[in-house]
Structure 1
Amino acid sequence: MAAAAPSFCPNRTISLSTPSHNHNQLTSLHSLRRFSVSSSSISSRCRLLFDSNNRILTPTVKASAAATPVMDQPTSSSSSAVPTTVDVDLGDRSYPIYIGSGLLNQPDLLQRHVHGKQVLVVTNSTVAPLYLDKTIWALTDKNPNIKVESVILPDGEQFKNMETLMKVFDKAIESRMDRRCTFVALGGGVIGDMCGYAAASYLRGVNFIQIPTTVMAQVDSSVGGKTGINHPLGKNMIGAFYQPQCVLIDTDTLNTLPDRELASGLAEVIKYGLIRDAKFFEWQEKNMHALLARDPNAFAYAIKRSCENKAEVVSLDEKESGLRATLNLGHTFGHAIETSSGYGHWFHGEAVAAGTVMAVDMSYRLGWIDDSLVKRVDMILQQAKLPTTPPEAMTVEMFKSVMAVDKKVADGLLRLILLKGPLGNCVFTGDYDRKALDDTLHAFCKS
């Protein structure tokens, strides 16, 4: 089925084949508006290579949207815009992703997913002044039986650790949260990962809801149930797969996102096009300027398309036995950059961007892609104002040391996600020439 392109771009048919973290108010930006998209169902064309078994998986994801006029979103609580909904199909653990402008003005969207009478909102010191009051209002409007508590964590990847996580448990226990309580993650990927892991662990599992406020979280980390914290020796080494009750993406929250964080999130958007959605990548090449300019229609489409891709993969491979691993293109190199540089110095998307260039370079050295794709990847990342090389301080040994404890290592063998064939195809494999990996590392490192 053809997927609807946003109104500023001709329709295309989908081929079935270190500044501190900050949400400073950007007063010069106009408000995001409602957007109009049509229902769609998409299919993947990511060809996988498994070490012992090749297989092709069939997509099951569903997406729906109600057409709404493009107009200014009212700020009153009477907003009634119908959100776009993408469903993550996991049987009795399925859940919706709501996408739209002003969704925090619609209390019913959140309240329908709160099953008990107690809610703990987990946020950080940057997001809390912007959206905590509105979120509490959305949870309690015309619903006096709900009691909401909140815990405000320090902001930054460097705080994604056990010590900070304990603050969530402290608040939950002090507030006597019971098994029917709901945790709400309000913030970016760090908050979503920590809140989700806390929900998975508290009383051996309570409900939780994702309200992502960054591009990175909206297009990737809030969807799919990956939760966890970092360890000094490796990123996201401690965690659990634990699905939310829903994901509510209010695109208006991007109004307060700094340019650097916005660009960081685009690395994950670009990833979807490279590994499984060639038409989406081609759309990005034509519309990256619109995304950087925060065009509301462009972002509405990019978020929806990214969520459809992520939901489809999660529906088929929830716990990363094969297919879902392909979503980590560039992440093995990128996580090594984050870990070695010190958490928080490079944003996740910045490290993934540099890591993607390295994965593409290695794919070319293996003879799996042609040089035109190498150039296109480098160009689009530069357009997105993302780094295309690792920090100068990174050495070959630093990369190898961190990559040796990567989660994709199996029986001592490092498996990588690499591109192979035409745009939109990838492989997840440990069957590659080790010399190509060494050559890539030496090409990007001085020592």
Structure 2
Amino acid sequence: MNNATDRFGWRVVGAAFVVAAFGWGMGFYGPPVFLHAVETGRGWPAWLASAAVTAHFLAGAAVVALLPRLYRRFGIASVTRAGAVSAALGALGWALAAEPWQLFLATLPSGAGWAATGAAAINAIVSPWFVRRRPAALAAAFNGASVGGVVLSPLWVALIGWVGFGWAAALVGGTMVATLWWLAGRYLGRTPAGMGLAVDGAAEPAARPVAEAAPRLWSDRRFRLLVAANALGLFAQIGLVAHLVALLAPALGAQGAGLAMGLATACAIAGRFAMARLLVPGADRRRAAAANYGVQVLGSVLLLAAGDAPALLLLGVALFGFGLGNAVSLPPLIVQQEFREAEVARVVALVVATGQATYAFAPAGFGLLRAGDAPMLFLAAAVLQTTAALLLLRRRELGGPSPGRP
């Protein structure tokens, strides 16, 4: 990568970081806050608001699958701008909904906005600029997601308490639109080829396996194993995170449980940077993802066994949190290693869409377990993530994708 490409490529990563911060802060960490605001402000039952969160994620999953086609037709900059506007309108719709049908209508733009600023979008923004250093670039960009959770989650709560849900949605949404509109025009509408620049390496090492082309994608067992592992791993993560504060509060207190969630987020950032350093060119990224799930399994087991011991609970949270970020950033890197570069955006979109459609039901599923026996949530998370790791390793028993394909 020459100096000009290097400078502008990392500016693109910085822009993607901001997109991720707003995207997750609005579309991922926002809905749980919206849920509480709707319940208390409208007096609607918890199941209704929870169903709206599920509808939000399902709408996003449908749009994620279409992202590659939208990017080809309209460009990344235009789609990102549209996503920011859609997310802002969706949040405002949540705030102003006076009837349940209006709430569910608002989930359509809020879900579409989340799709255009989420994981598949970050991969599409960063990937054209990096090949060999893509793990480090994606890790840096995806850390915006964690920062979005740290900053916007408490900001949502504070603003809603200060000026009300409607004005809070207008302020955060307006800031998101103004910021991403400018960043998209300045950085996201350009490509290395359009600027006459080279990327940091034309390809991965020559021995890298490459999977089948698009028409045979769903018939490729390796692809199906990746999709299944990603869906199970995210289901476990989202399900446990949704209830973690409530599970920790009896032992740590409400404030301590909130600080523990902050610890998990900090460990997620550290985990991304550590994994980026470990993923040297040619490293088996499926093994890395399986090991990442293994660390989280250990965290879940510690949480199960800790009882009321604060030190063990915090260690379990730290281990579980260490893998939170990598569960999102590693699948695109696995796709880069195993599929043709021309297919990467489409494959990543499908992996993200299926994962999102699955984890949309995780809070409700884990809620049913919590109603019976709360510690079962930790056991369920450990079992699901162990299964995800085994599915990733199963690829090796199949012999891996056939080498030598162009």
TM-score by length of 1: 0.25
Higher strand share: 1
Structure-2-length-normalised TM-score: 0.27
Task: Tell me which of the two structures has the higher relative contact order, counting C-alpha pairs closer than 8 angstroms and 6 or more residues apart.
Answer: 2
